[in-house]
Chain A
C-alpha cells in the first residue's frame, strides 16, 4: 500500500486518533479509497465510525494521524480539501422551512456554484432523488423517505470526488431503504468514490468493493468480501435459538472439537464452527446436556457476521 503513489487515491488516511476526555473513540484508524471505489466501514454502534468520518470530512480536529483527500491535506481549516468531499450526515441535515430546491441551491452556493450551472445541477439532482414534483414544497412536509433522499441529494450536488454517507438507512422503511441502496450502487457504477458506514452486514456485502471492520476505534480486518471471509476459513456460523442456562451452554459448546467461537446472543447462542454440517448432532446433544433447550437451528456459510464474531468474540448485532 505504501508503495503506491500518493495521488492515486481519492482518500488516504492513517493513524487517526481521537479522544473525548478519557475515552479513545478512534485509535489508529487508516485506510484508502481508490477512484470509483465504494469502501464500507462496518461496525456496531459506538465503534467510532461517525468520529472517523467527521475527521475525514474536516468537521473535527484529530489528536493524531494524517488525512488527505485527492492529494490535499484535510483539516477543519482546509477549504481546498473540503471542496472534494460530499457529506451525508447520519441524522437528517436539511432546513425544514425551505423547499428541496432552496435547500439544494443554498448548499450549492456554499460550494461556489452559481447561475446556470447551479440551476442545471439542482434539476439533475432533483431528478436523481425523485423530488422533482415536490421541489417547491417545504421539506418539513416531506415523508421520512423523501427527507432522507434530499439529505443525500445535498451531499451529491457539487459532484464531490468522495461521497461520505454515514448510516443513511438507519430508521428508514424497507422501501426507501432499498431506493437508497440502489442510488448508492448507481453512484458507485458512475465512478464516484464512496465511503459508506453501516452496522448492517447485508448493506456492506451488497454495496462495498472493500470493507473495513471497525470495533472499539480500530480496524480489525480489511479487504474485499472474499478476502475477509477467507480469514475465517471454511467456517460456518451456527445460530441456536435457545433458552436455559445460555452462559454455561456457550462455555460447554465452545470446548467441542471444531467449534472456534461461541457467544451468547439475545435469543440464544452463536457459534463459529468448521464444517458445521458434520458437527450439528454433537452440538445439539451437548446443548441439551448442559440444560439448554434448543428451539431452532440456523446455519450460515461463512460471512462477515461470522468474521466479526471471530474477530471480537461478540455478535455484530447485540
Chain B
C-alpha cells in the first residue's frame, strides 16, 4: 500500500504542475455551468405574462420550432403571429409617445424572424433574430430578448461544449459521432413548465451538476492514460524493473485518479454553493453520489482505455464516449422532460443516474440516492473489472 501511495503522490505532483488539469477539472465546468445556467434560464423565478408579436418571414422548420416550442411554451406568454413587419411594428409602436392611449391590441415585443434564419441555424452561421421592444413594457421586452438569446444559446451550447473539449485536449473530437449524438437528442425544453412528477434541479445547480459529471470523465481518465503515458515515456520499464508488484502500480494510478475526481467535483460544488447559491441537497447523499460517480467514471475510462495503444488514442476515445454519454445522460439539457424512448434511453448513461440522484435528493430524503448510487457503483465495478483485466495484461514494457 505504501508503494501505491508513493506512486499516487508522484502522479498527483505531476498533475498539479499541469495547468490543463485545473482548467479541465475546475475552470471549464464552472465557466460552462455559469454560461448555461444564466443564459438558458432567464425565466426562473419570474411570474409574469406577456404578449409577443411574431413576424415569420422565413417560414422554415427551424423558425416554426422557435415560435411553437420556445415562445408558445414559455409560461405566461401569448403569441400573436402576423404576416408583415408593418403590422407587427404597429403593435409595439405608439406614435413615439409612450403615454398615448393605444387602441385595441398591443404587444410587449415584436420578433422578426428574417428570411434564411433556418438555413443559417442549420449551417452554424451567425443567426440574425430581431427583437423590437415596446417602450411601454421595458421588462417584458427585456425578457423577450433573453428568450431569444436563450434559444440561441441552446443551439450553441452543444457547439461551445464540443469546442471547449477540443480546445482543452488540443485535438479534434470526432464530429461525426458527436453529431449523431446531438441529432439523437430531443430539442431542449428547459423553459417549459415543470410537471409535478419530474423532479428537477434549479437552473444553476442543474448545469453545474451536468458539467461536473461531464468533465469528471476527462479529469479522471488521466489515471488510466498515465499508464499509457508511462509506457510511451519509458518510465513504465523502470516501474516494472523495481521490486514492486504490478498491483501496487495499478492501485497507485487508481488512487490518484480517484482523488483528482473527488477534488475537482468538490471544488466545483463548493464554489457554486458559495458564489451562485446552488443548492446541492443533503451533503451525505451528495457525497455518496459523487463517490459513486467518480468510481463509475474511473471504470468506464479504464475499460475504454484498455482498447487504446497510446495515451492520445485513449483520450480521443474517452472524449467521444464522454460527449455521447453526456448528451444521452442529459447533462446539457433535461432529457427527462422529453419523455418516451429518449427519456428511458438516458439511463444507459451514468450521467443520467447522477443527475437523477441529485434531482431526487433535492425533493426527497436520503433514501432516494440508494438506487442511483448502487447503479453507479455497478457501472464502475463491471467496466472497471473488465478494464483492469485488459490493462493488467498489457502492463509490459
Contacts and interface: CB of A to CB of B under 8 A. Distances in A.
A194 interface: no
B234 A93 contact: yes
Interface string B218-238: 000000000000000111011
Interface of A is mostly: loop
Nearest to A83: B243
Interface stretch (A32-40, A94-102, A303-311): A94-102
A112 interface: yes
B3 interface: yes
Indicate the member of A92, A93, A94 with the most B CB atoms within 10 Å. Answer: A93
B14 A98 contact: yes
A69 to B, nearest CB: 11
Interface string A59-98: 1100000000000000011011011010101011111111
Given A60-B397, A106-B10, A154 B238 contact: yes
B14 A95 contact: yes
A91 B6 contact: no
Given A59-B397, A106-B10, A93 B243 contact: no
A58 interface: yes
B6 A79 contact: no
Contacts of B396: 59-60
A98 B13 contact: yes
Nearest to B238: A93
Contact of A82 (B14, B233, B241): B241
A111 B3 CA distance: 9
A14 B235 CA distance: 28
B17 A97 contact: yes
Indicate the member of B10, B238, B240, B396 with the most A CB atoms within 10 Å. Answer: B238
Contact of B243 (A95, A97, A106, A111): A111
A280 B370 CA distance: 92
A87 B238 contact: yes
Contact of B242 (A80, A94, A96, A110): A110
Contact of A109 (B6, B17, B245): B6
Interface string B385-397: 0000000000011
Contacts of A80: 243
A80 B235 CA distance: 21
Contact of A79 (B13, B233, B239, B245): B245
B240 A107 contact: no
A302 interface: no
B220 to A, nearest CB: 19
Contacts, number: 71
Given A91-B234, A110-B239, A97 B6 contact: no
Size bin of chain B's contact surface: 20 to 34
A54 interface: yes
Indicate the member of B3, B10, B244 with the most A CB atoms within 10 Å. Answer: B10
Contacts of A79: 243-245
A103 to B, nearest CB: 9
Contacts of B243: 79-80, 82-83, 110-112
A107 B233 contact: no
Contacts of A107: 238, 242
A65 to B, nearest CB: 18
A29 interface: no
A57 interface: yes
Interface of A: 54, 57-60, 76-77, 79-80, 82-83, 85, 87, 89, 91-98, 102, 106-107, 109-112, 138, 154
30 contacts: A54-B237, A58-B240, A58-B241, A59-B237, A59-B240, A59-B396, A60-B397, A80-B243, A82-B241, A82-B243, A83-B243, A87-B241, A89-B237, A89-B238, A92-B234, A93-B234, A94-B233, A95-B10, A95-B14, A95-B233, A95-B235, A97-B13, A97-B18, A98-B13, A107-B238, A110-B3, A110-B244, A111-B242, A111-B243, A112-B243
Given A89-B234, A96-B233, A109-B6, 17 more contacts: A54-B397, A60-B396, A76-B240, A82-B243, A92-B233, A93-B233, A93-B237, A95-B233, A97-B13, A97-B18, A102-B10, A102-B13, A106-B6, A106-B10, A110-B7, A110-B239, A110-B242
